[in-house]
Amino acid sequence: MLFNSFEFAIFLPIVFLLYWFVFNKQVRWQNLFLLVVSYIFYGWWDWRFLLLIAFSTTLDFWVGVQLGKITDARKRKIVFGLSCLVNFGFLGFFKYFNFFVDNFITAFDSLGYHVPVMPLKIILPVGISFYTFQSISYTADVYLKKLKPTNDFILFAAFISFFPQLVAGPIERAINLLPQFNKKRQFNYEEAKKGMQQILWGLFKKIVIADTLSGYVDQIFANYQVLPGSTLLLGAIYFAVQIYCDFSGYSSIAIGTAHLFGFTLIKNFNYPYFSKNVAEFWRNWHISLSTWFRDYVYIPLGGSRGTLGRVILNTLIVFALSGFWHGANWTFIIWGLLNGLFIIPTILFSKNKKTESTSFILEILQIGFTFFLITMTWIFFRSQNISQAFKYFKLLFSKSLFTYPVQHGMAMALPLIIFLFVIEWVRKKNISIFQPTVMPVYIRWSIYLIMVVTCLAFFKQNQAFIYFQF
């Protein structure tokens, strides 16, 4: 079920009313209800996906219970290893099996040997990368004794399948979210209002900005070989904004929806395009995934301890894995490695910390340069294969870069992009224009109404979120 669909517009109010007015007597009944509606939400795409998430949930619940009982270090390692093996095994099979088969065949073909192996027609379960990482983080924290295992299967299953963030995150940690399922939840009007504001802003970013830019991005990337470099630059910028509005839009809707049910999710985006370097960008982009790799890969590898060469190697490993997490394509791996390479200067000059305050002019220059670097990496992310990416770059950085771009939605796209960055800048600087003390209520509600009408005017059915494919 898509957040930006008529089905969800009917589903959410019904679930909200039943949750607060029928199942509000006991926490266990609320959790059971959330589990049922989450499975309905997830099974809306394909009911067969439910079997996989149910199996993973049952396994990791059992693993958690066993880790709470077993004291022998070797046995605990075996039990935790079982969780990793099964979960990553499922993820590897559904997401990467054909990738490895194709590369295996290509490698032998280059040596003159034909391997009679055919790729399988595998349907990728929606959100498998997200709930797998969330489930693994639970068993990892229990194994490391950072968290006590739960003995309540309903509570744990509701945590794994919680529908607002099930399909595309944020990837929640059990330390943050699991205790919220264990305490009495009461309706809070202010939290609900905050949630509705986030949902509306998320829908606006997705429907009005991301989906509008999507058409122009598709046109440019489909016809890049006959377009001037100036238009290809526009296409890269359009995609940078599209993927941000698409993904952060989903996160805003997820976080806002969770607020409606009394839950607080991790902030997944923190104005990343206003970052002054690439390291800062990755502290502000897809925060739940970045911190997951930091805590469960980077730090166990040694983190920032050890020699400079080791720190750089750890960084490149993490970003290569992060790229591979996004999809079974070499373009994603190169995209990840490029981001890792762009972080190396901040490591060499000890700038991989929170950036210091600078003059406004210098800040704008740093932000502009960082946005340019990130936008260039997005070309690999958006391209179908490496060959297309390199051809795109070759044509982009040609003499035609200095020509006037072919009209590809500039009259519509550029005002939307400017509007987005102005609003984001105001929000980043904590200028609370929507506070009652700043803006009269009738103006605020007029803005809300305009946003709703605009979303309805721009609405297109079946516009899936980009990160559903991951």
Q: What is the set of active-site residues? A: 326
Residue pair 206/377 in contact by the 8 Å Cβ criterion: no
Residue pair 450/198 in contact by the 8 Å Cβ criterion: no
Q: DSSP per residue over 384-426, as a string?
A: SSHHHHHHHHHHHTSGGGGSPPP-SSHHHHHHHHHHHHHHHHH
Q: DSSP per residue over 125-149, as a string?
A: PTTHHHHHHHHHHHHHHHHTTSSPP
The position carrying tokens 């022998």 is 72
Residue type, 338: L
> For the chain, how many residues are written?
470
Cα distance between residue 240 and residue 221, in whole Å: 13
The count of other CB atoms within 10 Å of the CB of residue 397 is 13
Cα distance between residue 285 and residue 278, in whole Å: 10
Residue pair 246/43 in contact by the 8 Å Cβ criterion: no
Residue pair 276/367 in contact by the 8 Å Cβ criterion: yes
Nearest to 319 by CA among 349, 137, 103, 301: 301
The count of other CB atoms within 10 Å of the CB of residue 122 is 12
DSSP three-state, residue 440: coil
Residue pair 381/203 in contact by the 8 Å Cβ criterion: no
Residue type, 258: A
Cα distance between residue 166 and residue 312, in whole Å: 33
